[in-house]
Homo-oligomer: A and B are copies of this chain.
Amino acid sequence: MTNGRIPSGIYGLDRLIEGGFRDKTANVVVGSSGTGKTTFAIQFIMHGIENGEQGLYISLEESPSQIMEEAALMGFDMEKHYEENLFFIHLKGQNFKKMIEEQLPALVKARSDYLIKTRVVVDPLTPVIWATPDQLEQRELIGKLFYTVKELGVVLATVEEHAKPGETIGEDVLIPVYLSDGVIHLEYYPVGGAFNRTLQIIKMRGTKHGEGVYPYIFVRGAGIVVRSAPTEVEEVKPGDYSEVFDRAIKTAQSMNAPEHVIEKIKKIRDNWQYPYSPEEVLEILFDSFKLKR
């Protein structure tokens, strides 16, 4: 079933989308400020790199060093891969139209000769949308951008959204939603409680996808973890979970898990400050790396 599917790297997501994204598709992550769109994008691209793929990060707002610094705060070491198999295009302040219509196609043409798999991130796509209120022009610009970078591999674009009350998805992001092959919607209601961050799959062409509302959490060192069922996590006082982690590490080693997986578990252990046991998160992780306990 997962033939040709490309794992997203977002823990717990792939089992909702038949194993991953389809190759050469453009997927959009939509969410308001603070939902973790950039974390999603970094995690997606780093997953590829850790598995021998290349990554192209088209940044339209922050500089590569800012992005790498934020990645580090979340536990991702982008620096190590910088200019090796992780490349940046920083388009701040440029003329999008010209860039998208002339420069980008040339760049992509040059890269596409290599046979190595490439993941592309456009983060955020928002400035292209804001470049013009004219829907037709937006459609042409974004259509061309998607068309061009899909040549390289799976594309993930992030979009800032401002949904009005009651809307499923913001009216302001209609064009990228319409032009993409897949749409993932992140929501964040800062009102406390265990379910204030949720993920929905709005569309995923050619894919039988999960149709629920899935809670997700941020785990420093791992990234976004999507839980497939909204069952309550027992909230207890933070305790010492090193034993749980050590057991998990030993199990992983006994299954010959690759080194970077072991390191990821160690990082999570060192950063774990949540008031509940990491059991469920570790289980989703093992599942993601196809380690069967």
> Interface of A with B (CB < 8 Å)?
32-34, 38, 61, 69-70, 73-74, 93, 126-127, 130-133, 135-136, 139-140, 160, 162, 164-169, 171, 174, 177-179, 183, 185, 188-193, 196-197, 200-208, 211-213, 218, 220, 273
Contact = CB atoms under 8 A, between A and B. Distances in A.
B220 A208 contact: yes
A204 B33 CA distance: 10
Given A33-B183, A73-B206, A190-B200, 4 more contacts: A33-B169, A164-B171, A165-B167, A168-B189
B126 A130 contact: no
Contacts of A168: 32, 189-190
Nearest to A147: B92
Which 4 pairs, one residue from A and one from B, show the smallest C-beta to C-beta distance?
Answer: A34-B203, A165-B166, A192-B212, A73-B206
A133 B74 CA distance: 35
9 contacts: A32-B169, A126-B178, A127-B136, A130-B136, A133-B135, A164-B164, A165-B165, A190-B200, A190-B212
Number of copies: 6
Contact of A208 (B127, B174, B207, B218): B218
Nearest to A160: B178
Nearest to A213: B191
A162 B163 CA distance: 12
Contacts of A61: 179
B178 A33 contact: yes
A185 B191 CA distance: 12
B70 A205 contact: yes
Contacts of A203: 33-34
Contacts of A205: 38, 70, 73
A38 B135 CA distance: 22
Contacts of A33: 169, 177-178, 183, 202-203
